[in-house]
Amino acid sequence: MPLVTARQLLDEAAKGSYGVGAFNVNDMEQIQAIMAAAEETKSPVIVQASRGARAFAEDRYLYHLMLAAAELHPNIPMALHQDHGNSFDTCKSAIELGFTSVMMDGSLKEDGKTPSTFEENIEVTRRVVEYAHPRGVSVEGEIGVLGGVEDGHGAGGSGLEHLTDPDQAVEFAERTGVDSLALAIGTSHGAYKFTKKPDGSVLKMDVLIAIHKRLPHTHLVMHGSSSVPKDLQDIVNKYGGKLKQTWGVPIEEIQLGIRHGVRKINVDTDCRLAITGAIRKVFAESPEKFDPRDYLKPAREAMKKVVAERMNEFGQAGHSGDYSPISLAEMAKGYQSGKLDTRPSLATSR
C-alpha cells in the first residue's frame, strides 16, 4: 500500500476505539521485524524515525527501505513518521523526503534539551502545520516536557517536572491545529522510566483523561511508553548485560489511555531490549559464530515477537483491511475545506 498519513490511521483507530503502535527504526532488520509483525497480526502500523535514526541510516536508505516495505506489504496501511522534529527545518526536510507525518516537538528549544516557552512552542508548531497540511502531511505536537533522554533528545529529569496543563493543551490545539498531541503525564524516554511499578503518584492518567474530555477530536499520543518487561531485561542480564532493574508503563495503563483518546503509542525501548537480548544470547552460547546473519536473524525475530504482542495489546490487530488509502492530495483538500480541522472551536460544531 502507498504510505498513508498517520492522521488517516489515527482517525480509523478512533472509529474502531483502538490504539496504533509507533515503532522506531534505524535499519533494515527493524523495518522487516515490524512489517512481519503487522502482516502476522493484520495490523496498520506507524513506522517512525528520529533525527538520530535519519543520520544513522542516511535519509535515502531509510526512505527506500520504507518504499520496499510498502511494496512488499500491499495490504498493510503504514505511515512514515518523523519522531521528535526539533525545528521547522527538520520537519520540512522530512516532508521533502517523503515522510507522511511529522512530529514538531516544540516543547524543547532547537537544542532538544532546554524547555521552551508556551508561546515559542505554539509559534514553531503552527508554522509546521501551515507547511504540512497543504501538502497533506499530518502533524503531532507536544506540550509539557517528558522525562529522560533518548537519542540525545530530552530535558532529563523525572517526567513529573513539566506535566501537561489541560487549559494549555486546549489553547495549544486551538492555536496550532495539530492532528495529534503528545502529553507529559509522568512518562520518560529510555529504559529507566520508573523505580517501582508506577501508580497514580507518578503516572498521571487522570491528566490525560481530563484533556481528552476537552479535546475529543485531537488524537492523544503516549511517548516513553515501552513496558520494559522483566523477561526482556532478564535475558539481557543473563547473557552478560548490566541493566539496573526498572519499570516501564504497564500495558493496562496504556489500555486505559486507549479508552480515553490515546491513538498513538510510541515504543522503542522494548524493541531495543529484545534485539540486544537475542544478540547477547548468540554471542554467549555460540562464541565461535561470526556470520552476522547468525545473530541478526534471531534479533529480528525477537523484535517481531514483541511488536506483534503490542499490536494485539493495543487493539490494532485485525484492522489492516478496514479501509483504503487516502492520498496526500486528498488529505490536503480535506485540510483546506476544514473537514479535517481538529481545533476545538471548529471540530465540535462539525
Residues lying near Zn ion in the complex (CB under 5 A) are found at 223
The residue type at 265: I
Closest to Zn ion by CB, 222 or 235? 222
Q: How far apart, in Å, do the first and last CA atoms of the chain sit?
A: 30
Closest to Zn ion by CB, 223 or 280? 223
Among 324, 328, 343, which Cα is nearest to 132's?
A: 328
Q: Which residue is nearest to Zn ion (CB)?
A: 223
> What's the CA gap between 227 and 54, in Å, rounded?
25
Question: Cβ 53 to Zn ion, closest distance in Å?
Answer: 12
Question: Cβ 219 to Zn ion, closest distance in Å?
Answer: 15
Question: Cβ 84 to Zn ion, closest distance in Å?
Answer: 6
* 177 contacts: CB under 8 Å, gap ≥ 6: 126, 129, 133, 341, 342, 343
Residue 83 annotated among the catalytic residues of the structure: yes
> What's the CA gap between 95 and 132, in Å, rounded?
7
CA angle 47, 48, 53 (to 5 degrees): 130
Closest to Zn ion by CB, 223 or 300? 223
Q: Which of 11, 83, 151, 268 is catalytic?
A: 83
- SS3 state at 152: coil
Question: Cβ 189 to Zn ion, closest distance in Å?
Answer: 6
Closest to Zn ion by CB, 32 or 125? 125
> What's the CA gap between 33 and 20, in Å, rounded?
16
Kindly list the catalytic residues.
83
